[in-house]
Structure 1
Amino acid sequence: MGRSMIALFILTFVTIFAAFCTGVTGCWRRSPGNITATAILMLLACLLSAGAMGLWHGVEYYEKEKVVGEEYYQQWSSVLQDNTEVLYDWSFVLSWLGVFFCLGASFLFFFGSCCLSNEKEREQLNNVQYIMPVYPQKQQYAYAGYAVPPPQAYAGPYYTTGSAYGPYNY
C-alpha cells in the first residue's frame, strides 16, 4: 500500500502537469473544449491525490492496529508513554489542502468552460445578421464530351455618365 501511495502521487503530478499544459493552451486560444479537458484532468488529479491520501491513512491504520497493536504501546515504560505524542505536521495538512484545491480548481475550470461557451454562442447569435447565405455556384456543363464555359450571370458592368455605380459617380 505504501508503494501504491507513492505511485498515485506520481500519477497526480503527471496529471497536474498535463492539466497545466491544456489549461495554458485553452486560455491562450479561448477554447471551451480545452478548458473542459483541463477541468476533467484536475478532477482526475483530485481523485488520484485523494486515493493516495486514503492509502496513507490505510498504511497508518494497518501499522498501528494490525502489525504493532495497541498492547505494544502499553509495554513501554511510563516515562516513554508520557513523553511520546503523535503529531501530524504541515505536510499532512498541506496534502489535504492540495486535494481540496484540486477539486476547487476543477469546478472553477468547469464554470469557466461554461462561460466561454456561452460567450461564443452569444457572439455567434450577434453576428448571424452578417452571415451571407451560400448559394450553389454555377458549374461547367459537359456538351458532347467537351467542357463548355458557363454562361455569365451578369453581362458586365455598364458604366454610363450618370450611373451611380461607375467610376464617374460625381
Structure 2
Amino acid sequence: MFVCVCVWLIIVIIIMSCSAVTLSVATVLSVIAVACLAIGFSTDNWYEIRVDTNRTRQYLDAINNDGGGGSLPSDYDSNYLYYSRDEGLFRVCFADKKPKELSTYLSPTQTECFNIDYYIPENKESDSFTDTRWERLHMARSVVALYIMAFFFIILSFFTGVAGCWKRSHANLVSTGLLQLFSSLMDAGAMGLWHAVQFYDHHKLKDEYSYAAWPDVLKQPGVTEFYYGWSYIIAWIGISQLLVASIMFLSAARCIRSEKRLEQTKNMQYLMPVYPDKRSPYGLNYAYAYPGPYTYHGSQYGMGPYAY
C-alpha cells in the first residue's frame, strides 16, 4: 500500500513538474509535513505495550501454587512492567492504571506519565553502564538531536521558499528543496536510530533495564503485545510528505529556469542591432544630378582668363 502511494505521488510530481500550481502544492505539503512531525515528536504513542492482566494473574497463580490461587509478586503493584503503557521519545504514559508507588505527572494528553531518563547530566547510576548500554543511550540521544536539527533546517527552508515564490528565484527554490530533502533524510535517520534502540532493548542488552530482565510471566505468549502507535505512523507520514515537497520544489525550480530561458530567447528575436549608416537611406547617388567642378576653356573672343 505504501509503495503504491509513493508511485502515485511520483507520477503526480512528474505530471505537475511544470504546472503553475506546483509551488502551491509543495507549500501545502510542507506545512502538513511540519505539523505531522511536530505532533509525532511531542506525543507519546510511538510504542504501545499492552499487558493482559487476566493472563498475567493466571500464569502467576499457576507458577506459585500449581494453578491454585496463590499470592502475586511483592512488586506487582509498584513495577510498571506489569501495566499497559505507551512509550514516546520523552515520556512513558500508562494507558489504563498506573503503579501505586510510582511518581507520575499529568501529561498534555491527560495521561499519567513519567519521564525517560537520558542521563543528562550523567550520574553515579550511568557510571556503571556497560559499553552496549552506552551505545544504546547515545543512539537514543541522537534520535532527539536529529529531530531538532531537522526542524531547524525546515525553518530555514520556509524563509528561502517564501523568497523563491515571491521573486520566482531559481536559486532560492533549489535551496528550499535541498534543505527540505536534507531534513527528511535526517528525520528518516532518526527513525532508523529509534528502531536500533528497540533492537538493543530486546536482543542485545542483558542488563536490568532491558527486556531480558523482565519477569518471565510477561514473556509468555499472549501476555505482552507490542504495537507501533499513531505517533510513529504520523511521523512517517510527515517524513514522506516532506520528501515529496522537496522534490516538487526542485522540479518547480527547474521549470522556472526553463521558462526564463524561453522568455530570454523570445525577447532576443525582437532585439535588432542598430549601426550608424552614412549612406543615403534609399541607396541613390545624387552626384550625377549636379555637374562636377567647372573648367574654364577661355572666352569666345580668344582671350585668356586674365586678358584684358
Normalising by structure 1, we get a TM-score of 0.71
1:2 to 119, 123, 140: 140
Task: Call closer, same or farther: CA 1:70–1:8 in 2, change over 3 Å.
Answer: closer
Task: Call closer, same or farther: CA 1:15–1:118 in 2, change over 3 Å.
Answer: same
Higher helix share: 1
Mapping of 1:120-139 within 5 angstroms? 120-131=260-271, 133=273
Q: Secondary structure at the match of 1:82?
A: coil
CA distance in 2 between partners of 1:109 and 1:67 (Å): 43
- 1:81 positional shift: 5.2
State the match for 1:168 in structure 2: none
Higher gyration radius (CA): 2
Normalising by structure 2, we get a TM-score of 0.40
State the match for 1:48 in structure 2: 186
In the alignment, is residue 105 of structure 1 matched against residue 231 of structure 2?
A: no
Task: Call closer, same or farther: CA 1:19–1:72 in 2, change over 3 Å.
Answer: same
Cα displacement string for residues 6-43 of structure 1 (whole angstroms, at most 9, x for unaligned residues): 00000000011111111111000000111011111011
In the alignment, is residue 75 of structure 1 matched against residue 75 of structure 2?
A: no
1:39 to 148, 152, 177: 177
Q: AA paired with 1:115? A: C
Q: Which sits farther off after the overlay, 59-68 or 7-16?
A: 59-68
Task: Call closer, same or farther: CA 1:134–1:59 in 2, change over 3 Å.
Answer: farther
- 1:62 positional shift: 0.6
State the match for 1:57 in structure 2: 195
Cα displacement string for residues 79-123 of structure 1 (whole angstroms, at most 9, x for unaligned residues): x75342111111111111122112111111111011100111111
CA distance in 2 between partners of 1:7 and 1:131 (Å): 56
Q: Which sits farther off after the overlay, 35-44 or 97-106?
A: 97-106
Task: Call closer, same or farther: CA 1:33–1:74 in 2, change over 3 Å.
Answer: same
2:236 to 76, 96, 99: 96
Q: Secondary structure at the match of 1:87?
A: strand
Identity %: 42
- 1:132 positional shift: 5.8
Q: Secondary structure at the match of 2:260?
A: helix
Q: Secondary structure at the match of 1:85?
A: strand
In the alignment, is residue 16 of structure 1 matched against residue 157 of structure 2?
A: no
Task: Call closer, same or farther: CA 1:134–1:28 in 2, change over 3 Å.
Answer: farther
CA distance in 2 between partners of 1:33 and 1:103 (Å): 19
Q: Is the 8 A contact 1:73 1:81 kept in 2?
A: no
Count matched residues: 135
Of structures 1 and 2, the one scoring higher in RCO (CA 8 A, sep 6+) is 2
